[in-house]
Amino acid sequence: MRKILIANWKANPRTHAEAERLNTTVTNAAKKHKNVEIVLCMPFPWLTDISHKAKGPVRYGSQNMFWDEGPYTGEVSAGMLKNSKVEYAIIGHSERRRLLGETDEMVNKKVLAALRAGITPVLCIGETAEMHKEGMVATKRFIKNQLTKALRGVSSVNGHRSMVITYEPAWAISTVRGGSKNNADTPENALAMIRFMKSIPHSKFPILNSRFIYGGSVNGKNAKAFLQHREIEGALVGGASIRPAEFITMIKIASEL
């Protein structure tokens, strides 16, 4: 099974020219290393221009989306994304939960809207640093609760059932404002959490085609340690995805597994 690398560019880069350059570099690498799926989730101002022009093999995703269309100032709907050749949407990223007050209920509405529109949600699930300190039992309870709430009603959605579920503990994210640090989880713990998460939706929700990946400080040095595990089906990559040479190294590593 091909691994999937999902790049989360966050609010980067600042210009369209830089976004195009990065997109071209990644596209060229993807043409060379075919045994990996690549999704670039970039800011809206660059996303739809680039996705409309793209001819493959890279696919495109947004970093957020709204659950409806109409009188919602500033929002972008799943249907608009679908009509712009955007195939994925990151939903429930911890930065949005923490900074913008995105709740489990909002995340759930977005997941359902994405599936109804035919967009594959890249659902982010993960505990905060405080929760992590409380230990494995409390963390698993938290993860189960967050995942269950995010997936409520999914079984009733007809049609599109493709989903990427990311175990991304908030404390493991490297890209902090003003610098970067490597806080990656251990591959063993990430694997244990992914196994735990896999046991939840498959027993309770008839979701087909869900893939489970890890996110949080994945880079050129540690990518293999995570991705070599069969059950870790890919990675959500923030900081390292906007460093072209490093991201290409990761593409190569993933395609050789």
Asked if 160 is an active-site residue, the reply is no
Q: Which of 37, 95, 102, 168 is catalytic?
A: 168
CB 236 within 8 A of CB 8: yes
Distances (CA, A) of 6 to 55, 215, 254: 18, 9, 12
Short-list 34, 27, 39, 17, CA closest to 85? 39
Q: Residue 89 Cβ, how far from ligand PGA at the closest point, in Å?
A: 13
Residue 16: active-site member: no
- Bond prior to 57 in cis (omega within 30° of 0): yes
Task: Name the residues that contact ligand PGA, by CB under 6 A.
Answer: 8, 168, 173-175, 215-218, 236-240
CB 88 within 8 A of CB 120: yes
For residue 35, the one-letter residue type is: N
Q: Vertex 157, ends 154 and 158: CA angle to 5°? A: 145
Total Cβ atoms within 10 A of residue 248: 18
Coil, helix or strand at residue 139: helix
Residue number closest to ligand PGA, CB atom:
238
The answer to whether residues 196 and 222 touch, using CB atoms and an 8 Å cutoff, is: no
Output 77 or 185, the one with its CB closest to ligand PGA: 185
Active-site option among 33, 93, 102, 233: 93
The nearer residue to ligand PGA, 8 or 48, going by C-beta atoms, is: 8
CB nearer ligand PGA, residue 61 or residue 155: 61
Two tokens, residue 190: 């990430």
Nearer Cβ to ligand PGA (8/84): 8
Least distance between ligand PGA and beta carbon 12 (Å):
11
| Rounded least distance, CB 246 to ligand PGA, Å | 11
Measured from the CB atom, the residue of 31 and 222 that comes closer to ligand PGA is 222
- The distance of closest approach from Cβ of residue 59 to ligand PGA in the complex, given in angstroms and rounded to an integer, is 17
Residue with tokens 């230990």, as numbered in its chain? 135
Residue closer to ligand PGA, measured from CB, 234 or 238 = 238
Residue 76 CB, shortest distance to ligand PGA, in Å, is 19
Least spacing, CB of residue 70 vs ligand PGA, in Å: 30
For residue 127, CA distances in Å to 38, 97, 103, 143, 222 come to 26, 11, 14, 7, 21
Burial of 230 (0-12, 13-18, 19+ CB in 10 A): exposed
Decide: helix, strand or coil at residue 110: helix
The set of catalytic residues is 93, 168
